[in-house]
């Protein structure tokens, strides 16, 4: 291909409104700050929330790491500001088009459970909206333009989307 992920050419990247790790980090910081100023506990005291939440959080990070390794091995770029050379179809990408975003989503849930605080779940709503409309919508349009039928076939196989783009399953494209 004319240019790969190593070139740094952003002219043909998805042009997302915010880098997803930055959006996630800001969400985590906001949730922790709000939790400190105004705690909103929501779990029964008898529940081992720390262990349960930490387990969910570690599983979420494992999902993110697995997806990054899979993308890297397939020769695709991970950062959203770099061009995409190929659609990754192996590993976690067999089940979801966006395992990294799914991991970020689950990480906030794990944080909410571990801290027994509703703020990470509340922050999850604007985070999901930013990812869906400011990142995924732009990525999907970019993949359609750049990879055409290869992308549409993959999208159809993984989430049941029809060729006209209508969604059948997979809310928030996670």
Give the DSSP letter of residue 17. Answer: S
pTM, 2 dp:
0.82
CA distance 144 to 7: 21
Tracing tokens 């929501």 back to the chain, one arrives at: 42
What is the reported pLDDT for 80? 84
Listed by start position, the domains of the chain span 34-162
Residue 161, pLDDT score = 52
Distance CA 160, CA 152 (A): 10
pLDDT tens per residue, range 101-160: 999 999 999 999 999 999 999 999 999 999 999 999 999 999 888 888 888 888 888 876
Cβ contact 29:109 at 8 Å: no
Tokens of 126: 């604007």
Please tell me the distance from the alpha carbon of residue 4 to that of residue 84, in angstroms, as a whole number.
Answer: 7
Predicted confidence (pLDDT) per residue in 39-72, tens digit: 999 999 888 999 999 999 999 999 999 999 999 9
């Amino acid at each position: 291909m004319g240019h790969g992920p190593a070139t740094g050419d952003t002219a043909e990247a998805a042009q997302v409104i915010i880098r997803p790790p930055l959006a996630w980090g800001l969400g985590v910081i906001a949730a922790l700050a709000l939790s400190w100023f105004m705690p909103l506990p929501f779990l029964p005291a008898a529940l081992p929330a720390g262990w349960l939440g930490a387990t969910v959080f570690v599983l979420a990070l494992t999902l993110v790491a697995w997806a990054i390794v899979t993308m890297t091995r397939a020769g695709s770029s991970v950062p959203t500001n770099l061009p995409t050379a190929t659609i990754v179809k192996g590993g976690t990408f067999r089940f979801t088009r966006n395992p990294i975003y799914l991991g970020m989503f689950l990480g906030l849930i794990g944080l909410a459970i571990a801290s027994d605080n509703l703020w990470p779940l509340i922050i999850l709503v604007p985070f999901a909206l930013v990812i869906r409309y400011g990142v995924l919508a732009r990525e999907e349009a970019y993949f359609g333009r750049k990879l055409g039928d290869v992308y549409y076939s993959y999208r159809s196989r993984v989430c049941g989307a029809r060729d006209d783009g209508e969604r059948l399953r997979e809310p928030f494209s996670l």
